[in-house]
């Protein structure tokens, strides 16, 4: 099962793992860049703000080199994981749901954005009852919104739907109180 250490020399370069290693090296470079950008403070402190970042950076460089080495020697992923094809379409739809939530939450409000995300994620996971999912999402989001807004006075991002419903609720309260 294990690919790298078990057999003496299956030295096939593992591309995905190599990319991970290189990515981490790039992260270490970003850490180095940001560490150099930390203003050197004339404040009295025996150990300054850059000491721990440098230690971390060094650690990351060493670790990413070790990972790259492991990748060149065949990688570390279990065979089973390697052979499973990634369902890019399903993942793409789920990611689209997340992005939609991020982009829409400010202009449309929490509920609308959540419903769109809910429907897309369900679709990505293979559900084809889009209307039912939309309704489930709506109920869930509204419950969360009003739970916060009415019980704790915290506004978690109101938009069109919330405003309309608040108007209705206020009207009901008004009539009830006579």
Partner 1 sequence: MLNRRRFLMSTAAAGAAGFVATHLTPAFAQDAPQIQIFVPAAPGGGWDQTGRTIDQVLRSEKLISGSQITNVGGAGGTVGLPQFISQWKGKGNSLMVAGMVMVGAIIANKSANNLSEVTPIARLTGEFEALVVPADSPFKTAGDFVAALKADPTKVPVAGGSAGGSDHILFGLIAKTVGVPATNLSYVPFAGGGEALSALLGNQVAAGISGFGEFSEQIKAGALRLLAISADKRQDGIDAPTMKEAGIDVELFNWRGVFAPPGVSDADKAAMVTMIETMAKSDAWATECKNRNWTPILLTGDDYAKFLADDTARITAILKDLGLA
Partner 2 sequence: METLSHLGHGFSVAFSPMNLLWCLVGTTLGTAIGVLPGLGPALTIALLLPITYQVAPEASFILFAGIYYGAMYGGSTTSILLNTPGESATIVTALEGNRMARSGRGGAALATSAIGSFVAGTIGTLGVAFLAPVVVKFALAFGPAEYFSLMVLAFITVSAVLGSSSVRGLTSLFIGFVIGMIGVDLQTGQPRFTFGMNELLDGVDVIIAAVGLFAVGETLYMASRRYAGKDEIVPLKGSLYMTAAEWGRSWKPWLRGALIGFPIGAMPAGGAEIPTFLSYAIEKKLSKHKEEFGTVGAIEGVAGPEAANNASAAGVLVPMLTLGLPTSATAAIMLSAFQSYGINPGPLLLTTQADLVWGLIASLFIANVILVILNLPLIGLWVRLLKIPAPQLYAGILVFATVGTYGISQSPIDLIILYLLGAAGFLMRRFDFPTAPVIIGMILGPLAETQFRRAMTISNGDWSVFYTHKLSLVLLILAFIGLAGPHIWAFIEHRRRRGPEHVPGDA
Exactly one of 42, 81, 84, 131 binds partner 1 (CB under 8 A); that residue is: 42
Query: Measured from the CB of residue 161, what is the shortest distance to partner 2 in angstroms?
Result: 14
Contact 40, 48 (CB under 8 A): yes
Rule CB under 8 A: is residue 9 a binding residue for partner 2?
Answer: no
Letters for 110-149 (x = contact with partner 1 by CB under 8 A, - = none) are ---------------------------------------x
Using CB under 8 A as the binding criterion, the count of chain residues that bind partner 1 stands at: 21
Which of these, 59, 159, 150, lies nearest to 113 by C-alpha position? 159
The whole-angstrom separation of Cα 114 and Cα 101 is 6
How buried is residue 112: exposed, middle or buried, by Cβ count under 10 Å (0-12/13-18/19+)?
buried
Rule CB under 8 A: is residue 167 a binding residue for partner 1?
Answer: yes
Contact 31, 90 (CB under 8 A): no
- How many CA atoms lie less than 13 Å away from 70 in the CB half-sphere? 20
Query: Measured from the CB of residue 52, what is the shortest distance to partner 2 in angstroms?
Result: 5
Interaction site with partner 1 (CB under 8 A): 41-44, 149-150, 153-155, 157-158, 162-163, 166-167, 170-171, 173-174, 177-178
């Amino acid at each position: 099962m294990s690919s790298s250490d078990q057999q003496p020399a299956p030295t096939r370069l593992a591309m995905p793992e190599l990319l991970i290693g290189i990515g981490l090296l790039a992260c270490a470079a970003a850490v180095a860049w940001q560490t150099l950008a930390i203003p050197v403070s004339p404040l009295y402190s025996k150990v300054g703000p850059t000491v721990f970042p440098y230690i971390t950076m060094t650690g990351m460089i060493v670790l990413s080199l070790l990972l790259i080495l492991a990748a060149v020697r065949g990688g570390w992923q279990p065979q089973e994981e390697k052979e499973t094809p990634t369902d890019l379409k399903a993942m793409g739809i789920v990611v689209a749901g997340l992005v939609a939530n991020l982009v829409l939450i400010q202009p449309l409000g929490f509920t609308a954005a959540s419903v769109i995300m809910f429907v897309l994620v369900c679709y990505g996971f293979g559900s084809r009852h889009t209307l039912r999912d939309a309704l489930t999402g709506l109920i869930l989001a509204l419950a969360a919104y009003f739970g916060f807004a009415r019980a704790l006075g915290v506004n978690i991002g109101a938009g069109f739907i919330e405003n309309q419903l608040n108007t209705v609720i206020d009207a009901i309260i008004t009539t009830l109180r006579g």
